[in-house]
Structure 1
């Protein structure tokens, strides 16, 4: 006899189905929250132009538009991607949905990974709005926006690295409650020390080294600026720790995120705190 609490359909759900379902759910949430997305697509470009004007003493200077655009793209991406995953996970935790999920045969890894992919896709509209605003502003001032296909490599590194960071934050919220302030304060850290507004080469050596090592967007932004502004190649970036670190850092952060999330998930299960916040 099957009761309403039984989940025979979920018992046959595989890893791929769970992953696809989470991606689809994330995209539905993105569509349903289109007003919030639209507001961010307006506020981030306005913030970008205000920063350029502030740094240019009231003018949109050509030598600031592209570098700040690259930095703001990285900042907007990590803000959108990390916050979407964290707040979505926290919402499920507070509502009790997360505890019910762990009562099903669904693998938690597939669920978390699906949310990560959906969050990456959800960040693209805001990133696209900043890029479009930057291109228009550069065109109005009579300049051109440089482009090279090789810039997609640091862009992919940013996406993978921020997934690792989001996993760490989701794991922390399973065990340590009321950590929203960490995600909110971290945005200021990324803006100051992530190379978004001030190039890492202008920071003290120890600060630049710490940023390249720990902040997911820092190596990618530095590499993108070198490629687009200085005409560097992937094998000869001229700044930073080179292509090897750009490829290695996101993998290390991703592995760290998986490890931390798995350990904290086990701790939350052992304590029985999956449904308590």
Structure 2
């Protein structure tokens, strides 16, 4: 009887330790890379203001400040999560230590998700500086800076759904070498058709539908704009495909990401490619 109780508890402890180690590793990399974080805390707000001025023909128009800010906050999360996890995973592969992750009791996909938790923390300073910049710009124009607690739900959906993108890119780099450009290209795609700068309602219907289905940030940004700019509430959300899809899409994408990562990992194992780059 004692054995039946203690074995699961030991296994749970091993899983928690393995996951916690990956989170800790990601946080240590974040601290060691503080200069890059500081640079992003400057460049993202500057990029935000330049985009608004470009769209406003040289003026910081009040009607553009909030919509663009909401889109760039979503883009900042997916940029930080995808890039930090991908480059961390690639660094393990290039240094020849990736195989050590298979000595832990956790599936390797779960270890990648552990680094995702650290990447979310890394995105917070950048997002905070964006919000402060937006607040100053909006209030300087005489406007009000809205806040609706329910907007944290689409924000969480963006964070969870983005895990899928990182998992797929980490899986691809196990099989296909030198795919760094795909990471940057994916961010560009999210920026162009993900509803970050141009609302999905302004895009062709088929592109908007594909974005709502496949791009992690798209439904969350669309919902956040509806709640903060149009006064919709979380319970009667009419934007896009509604609250149900906002909650379901990140779960489906993460499951799909895990399945694709596992499949690509099996291909790499069959080729004996885990230990070389």
Q: Identify the TM-score tier after normalising by the shorter chain.
A: over 0.9
- Once residues 13 and 52 of structure 1 are traced to their aligned partners in structure 2, the CA distance between those partners, rounded to angstroms, is 49
- Once residues 190 and 261 of structure 1 are traced to their aligned partners in structure 2, the CA distance between those partners, rounded to angstroms, is 20
Q: Is the 8 A contact 1:16 1:110 kept in 2?
A: no
Tell me which residue corresponds to 1:135: 135
Q: Is the 8 A contact 2:109 2:261 kept in 1?
A: no
- For residues 16-74 of structure 1, the C-alpha deviation after alignment (integer angstroms, 9 at most, x for no partner) is 00111111111111111111100000000000000011111111111111100000001
Q: Is the 8 A contact 2:85 2:119 kept in 1?
A: yes
Query: Which consecutive unaligned segments of at least 5 residues does structure 2 have?
Result: 1-10
TM-score by length of 1: 0.93
Q: How does 1:170-249 map to 2 (within 5 A)?
A: 170-249=170-249
1:40 aligns with 2:40: yes
Tell me which residue corresponds to 1:6: none
Q: Is the 8 A contact 1:15 1:110 kept in 2?
A: no
Tell me which residue corresponds to 1:5: none
- Once residues 61 and 105 of structure 1 are traced to their aligned partners in structure 2, the CA distance between those partners, rounded to angstroms, is 53
Q: Is the 8 A contact 1:92 1:98 kept in 2?
A: yes
Shift of 1:122: 1.0
- For residues 126-170 of structure 1, the C-alpha deviation after alignment (integer angstroms, 9 at most, x for no partner) is 111111110111111111111000000100000010001111111
The structure-2 alpha-carbon separation of the partners of 1:111 and 1:187, relative to structure 1 and needing over 3 Å to count, comes to same
Tell me which residue corresponds to 1:105: 104
Indicate the larger mover: 227-236 or 193-202: 227-236
Query: Which consecutive unaligned segments of at least 5 residues does structure 1 have?
Result: 1-10
Q: Is the 8 A contact 1:164 1:258 kept in 2?
A: yes
TM-score by length of 2: 0.93
- Once residues 111 and 253 of structure 1 are traced to their aligned partners in structure 2, the CA distance between those partners, rounded to angstroms, is 17
Shift of 1:211: 0.6
Partner-residue secondary structure (3-state), 1:89: helix
- Once residues 83 and 175 of structure 2 are traced to their aligned partners in structure 1, the CA distance between those partners, rounded to angstroms, is 18
- Once residues 259 and 12 of structure 1 are traced to their aligned partners in structure 2, the CA distance between those partners, rounded to angstroms, is 23
Q: Is the 8 A contact 1:24 1:118 kept in 2?
A: yes
The runs of at least 4 consecutive aligned structure 1 residues that moved more than 3 Å come to none
Tell me which residue corresponds to 1:4: none
Superposition CA RMSD, Å? 1.5
1:125 aligns with 2:137: no
How many residues were matched structurally? 266
- Once residues 32 and 121 of structure 1 are traced to their aligned partners in structure 2, the CA distance between those partners, rounded to angstroms, is 14
Shift of 1:13: 7.2
Shift of 1:263: 1.3
